[in-house]
Amino acid sequence: MKISVIQPDIVWENKSRNFQNLYGIISPLFKNTDIVILPEMFNTGFSMNPGQFSESPESETFEWMKSTARNGNFGVCGSFMVKEKGRFFNRWIFVTPQEEMWYYDKRHLFSMGEEDKYFSAGKSKLVFTFRGVRISPYICYDIRFPVWNRNNNDYDLAVYSANWPEARINVWNTLLQARAIENQCFVAGSNRTGTDGNGIKYCGYSAIIGPRGEVIASAEINSECSVSAELSMTDLSEFRKKFPVTDDADNFTINI
């Protein structure tokens, strides 16, 4: 499978400009990749204004994702603000060219940014299969919580959509590699560049990591771009057989 991570400079709370900008970065990948991975809140930036910018689950942003997936013949994923049954969610959505859809609501809300005051936390992990690869998605702050990220031999690729500030970028880099190593899986992390409406700076460092923690591909710092890599499920399976770490893992349950 070939995956592509997108690293944009998100225009603050301006959906139409972000759709145009993202399309310009994504269009060269049409019919040349299997999955396009977008950052957290890719249509607005990390805004705490869901009353104005949230959408119903299958509205404007979802329609843009469907159209892009269909035109490119790839899966498209990333998070945006959704309103459902009177509550707001930071929701990650995956759309296929055939208009199949899976979604995951961010579990760990960033309380230091008051995200928990505006959004409801998700209560379920997600694992699904696309083109033969088992995928488990997470959103930004989720990456700090290894129990929630634990691979119970049920996924091959962990996807992280993020708005991760430049001030803590070394943590982002370290955790991407740690999650790959401890879960013996591929990891793809999409982060933004630029400065948001709150004056917070982002520098990117989007990356694709292998199951040994090796950096397979990484984006240029402070650059709007995409970065792609081929993932071999055969190599992953052989590595897991030769070094079966998960056989010795501790059993646990998560109380929600």
**Cβ atoms of 101 and 61 closer than 8 Å:** no
Please choose, from the candidates 48, 51, 54, the residue with its C-alpha nearest in 3D space to the C-alpha of residue 15: 54
What separation, in Å, do the N-terminal and C-terminal C-alpha atoms of the chain show? 34
Residue type, 62: F
Q: Which of 40, 115, 166, 224 is catalytic?
A: 40
**Cβ atoms of 105 and 122 closer than 8 Å:** yes
Q: Which of 55, 77, 115, 140 is catalytic?
A: 140
Q: Which of 77, 106, 115, 185 is catalytic?
A: 106
Residue corresponding to tokens 């790959």: 180
- What would the two tokens of residue 115 be? 């995200």
Please choose, from the candidates 107, 190, 109, 185, the residue with its C-alpha nearest in 3D space to the C-alpha of residue 147: 107
Instruction: Clarify whether 203 is annotated catalytic.
Output: no
Instruction: Clarify whether 15 is annotated catalytic.
Output: no
Instruction: Clarify whether 106 is annotated catalytic.
Output: yes
SS3 160: strand
CA distance 34 to 48: 32
Residue 168 phi/psi, 5-degree rounding, is: -120, 30
CA distance 26 to 36: 8
Active site residues: 40, 106, 140
